[in-house]
Amino acid sequence: MLDALWKELATPQAPPPDLVIVACGLGVLAVVLHPTSWQITRGLITIAHEGGHALAALLSRRKLAGIRLHSDTSGVTLTKGKPTGLGMIATAAAGYVAPSLLGLGGAVLASAGYVRVLLWGALVLLAGMLLLIRNVFGAVSLLVVGGALFALSWFTPDEVQGVVAYLGVWFLLVGGVRPIFELQGKRRRGTAGNSDADQLARLTRIPGTVWVGFFFVVAAASLVYGGYLLLPADLLPRGLVSALVP
């Protein structure tokens, strides 16, 4: 049984038709730009954001006290350990770049045809987060998202899995950019004094605006390269293809 499962995971799937890939990207862009649809779906970006904090904390050997996801699409990851140093800096810096980097990793897998690996990898990450959730809304959110992913990966044909995978990757890539603009807007209005960027400014003495710029560069670069991987080559500008292809 394990051999059959591994064979299924390791077998590349054909990508969706070019028109479907483009439609997925444009549809996600419309969702992210529209205020109502963004407010409904933004919680998915929050899950990736808080997961980034948690993963960075684990890698830097900080102790995780728990994760909370809230109905207003905000979240918090609580850690224990030294309040300064590289571990704390890495943990604070990981949140805003996590959705985009996850999207880029997903683009690599999806463009290579490893859609099942992408879906099951997402399930493993969600299961890991579920063990760290410390509130009911957060647990329900992860169970709903994880349950939907499991049903899609187990009960739907390859064509449906491919479309869902491309939609998810596009959403992480495009949706990873908007919160950075929202963050800077809140900072200009003076309503984000304890944001990740401001925490990093206190930890490193590097201005918070510079950290926001860093978040944006990572997100924009991930979107550009991820889009290059996902989009059909004949739709890309020749100069971009020449610059990105070795």
Supply 167's token pair: 């939609």
What is the H or E stretch that residue 61 is in?
none
Residue 183 domain flag? yes
Tell me if 223 is assigned to some domain: yes
Within the chain, which residues score under 50 in pLDDT? 239-241
Q: Helix, strand or coil for residue 151?
A: helix
Q: What is the pLDDT of residue 192?
A: 78
> What CA–CA distance (Å, rounded) separates 184 from 32?
17
Residue 8, in any domain of the structure: no
- Strand partners of residue 80: 63
User: Is residue 28 assigned to a domain?
Assistant: yes
DSSP structure string for 100-131: HHHHHHHHHHHHTT-HHHHHHHHHHHHHHHHT
Structure tokens at 10: 């390791």
C-beta separation of 164 from 91 below 8 A: no
pLDDT at 58: 93
Structural domain count of the chain: 1
Neighbours of 172 (CB within 10 A): 28
For the record, the structure tokens of 149 come out as 């992913």
Q: What are phi and psi of 14, to 5 degrees?
A: -70, 140
The residue range of the domain holding 129 is 16-232
Residue 9 in domain:
no
In a domain, 206, yes or no: yes
pTM across the whole model: 0.92
pLDDT for the residue 241: 45
Question: What DSSP state is assigned to residue 113?
Answer: T
52 with 125: CB under 8 angstroms?
no
Q: Is 189 helix (H, G, I), strand (E, B) or coil?
A: helix
Taking residue 127's Cβ as centre, other Cβ atoms within 10 Å add up to 12
Asked if the structure places residue 179 within a domain, the reply is yes
Assigned domain for 237 exists = no
